[in-house]
Amino acid sequence: MRRLLSTALPLALLLLTSPIPASAQKTVRGETPYATREDAMQFADDVAERRDLDRKWVRATIGNARLLPNVPRLMLPAPKGTAKNWRVYRSRFIDPIRIAAGVRFWRANADTLARAEAEYGVPPEIIVGIVGVETIYGRNMGNFRVIDALATLAFDFPQGHPRAAERQAFFRSELESFLSTESRTAEDPMVPVGSYAGAMGMPQFMPSSIAKYAIDFDGDGRIDLVNNPVDVIGSVASYFRAFGWQPGMPSIYPVGFDEARLKKDVLMAPDILPTFSADAFVAGGAVLEGEALTHKGLLALIELQNGADAPSYVAGTQNFYVITRYNWSSYYAMSVIDLGREVRAAMEQ
């Protein structure tokens, strides 16, 4: 019998995950169990003490996790010199199949999307873009056992990664969060499946994001990010508001350059962090038009490389930056924005 935390969570947090539908791909299982790893068992003991969990249960759970030998290499960045290509990246996520699926998702959940916008300020096309880019609206939620993925990256993160120590610490924290949540349920911690990084459900939330941001949006007493699009929509909206989404603010504006005055190095220096007022942006040689000229917040110059061709540029707002908190990539954020726009356009045809 595992020992639960002294402060019980609400019922809505006790049923966090659901089994992947039977039609999903066969679960990928690891190889060597972590029961014989001294570092893994020491971690188990530390988690049990920190979280006031049953030590035997934590050791058995981590001990039954298995190394996924192909996962560590998937975490390594592309080799130096690999050219980024926005057009190629975009084509992976904006295609007729995904757009059509997005239309079906939007129409089936129009009332919920409208309620999420009313309560959280996040427009439907952003939520639709996220769920579409992440899993094609639940079609591809991953088939790795979450405990295996998290354990592999917690104890065998590739040391060749430029931020290996930081990333390994992140996955140890996520493993701890997963164990803490699973300890509050009657479910088998070996059952949940997700991505090779341990993300789960239609929106691909990591365990800590589930604990912090997932909500019971339909009020049925449980949170289900696998089978319940109402909870998925509310949880994505909740996530964005927590990271500072500004209702009514565009995510991007078109931008051009006045080459005679352009100080591109200055504009690019903060990367994707909004830093410049509209006036300062223009003073640096950026050319804005229409409502962008009177934008009240800060802006960032976003560069999207196109391989050997000239890069594309947009002016990113606070809301663009918030999208990158979901996945720290400007290419990802633009794909979310573009997919949402394409689905909205298809809805209006």
- The ranges assigned to domains in the chain are 11-79+141-227, 252-316
> What letter would DSSP give residue 54?
-
pLDDT in tens, 92-102: 999 999 999 99
Q: What percent of the chain has pLDDT over 70?
A: 93
pLDDT in tens, 272-329: 999 999 999 999 999 999 999 999 999 999 999 999 999 999 999 999 999 999 999 9
Neighbour-count burial of 84, counting CB atoms closer than 10 A to its CB (0-12 exposed, 13-18 middle, 19+ buried): middle
Choosing from 31, 49, 117, 134, the catalytic residue is: 134
Average pLDDT, the chain: 92
Has 134 been annotated as catalytic? Answer: yes
Question: At 316, is the secondary structure helix, strand, or coil?
Answer: strand
pLDDT confidence bin for 116, thresholds 50/70/90: very high
pTM score, whole prediction: 0.92
pLDDT in tens, 148-162: 999 999 999 999 999
Question: At 306, is the secondary structure helix, strand, or coil?
Answer: strand
Is the pLDDT score of 7 beyond 90?
no
Taking residues 133-161, report their average pLDDT. 97
The superfamily in CATH containing domain 11-79+141-227 is Bacterial muramidase (1.10.8.350)
Number of H helices and E strands in the chain, helices first, is 15, 7
Taking residues 52-58, report their average pLDDT. 97
Residues 6+ apart with CB under 8 A from 123: 117, 340
Residue bearing the bigger pLDDT, 187 or 337 = 337
Instruction: Please report the pLDDT score of residue 10 as a whole number.
Output: 40
pLDDT in tens, 215-257: 999 999 999 999 999 999 999 999 999 999 999 999 999 999 9
pLDDT in tens, 17-53: 444 443 346 777 777 999 999 999 999 999 999 999 9
Instruction: Please report the pLDDT score of residue 1 as a whole number.
Output: 32
List, as own/partner pairs, every contact residues 186-190 make where C-beta atoms lie below 8 angstroms and the sequence separation is at least 24, other chains included: 187/15, 187/17, 189/61, 189/147, 190/61, 190/64, 190/145, 190/147
Instruction: Please report the pLDDT score of residue 23 as a whole number.
Output: 39
| Rounded Cα–Cα distance for residues 265 and 288 (Å) | 18
| Rounded Cα–Cα distance for residues 200 and 177 (Å) | 13
